[in-house]
Amino acid sequence: NIQHLFDAGVKINQTNDTSIDSFFTDKTVVLTGTLEYYTRPDLTKILLSHGANVTSSVSKKTDLVIVGTDAGSKLDKAKELGIQIMNEAELLEKLFN
């Protein structure tokens, strides 16, 4: 039985880490513009589950900016800082292929 294993010194480590190792792991990501396929909260949850850190403003620490239509000053700032820019179709390709 399982108690026998515990008595023998077996330890079970439980974590709540449900993230997936992916292209987005450990990247700081900013969403901007109007997204076609996802709401911003839904896409944030998906990115978090893929290991990304989603923030609301572009800085030199930002790794990736995902742009929808009518992206404004965040897109301009990303270009100015030389940050990788990805549209929603490219994002979906990275997430699901």
Cβ atoms of 84 and 62 within 8 Å: the answer is no
Residue 30's pLDDT is 97
Contacts of the segment 81-90: beta carbons below 8 A, 24+ positions apart: 83/58, 88/35, 88/36, 88/37, 88/38
pLDDT tens digits, 52-68: 999 999 999 999 999 99
Please check the confidence at residue 3 and state whether its pLDDT lies above 90: no
This prediction has a pTM of 0.77
Largest CA distance in the chain: 62
pLDDT band at 43 (very low <50, low <70, confident <90, very high): very high
Closest to 32 in 3D by CA, of 56, 53, 8: 56
Residue 11's pLDDT is 66
Residue 8's pLDDT is 75
Tokens 């076609």 -> residue: 36
d(C-alpha 93, C-alpha 97), whole Å:
6
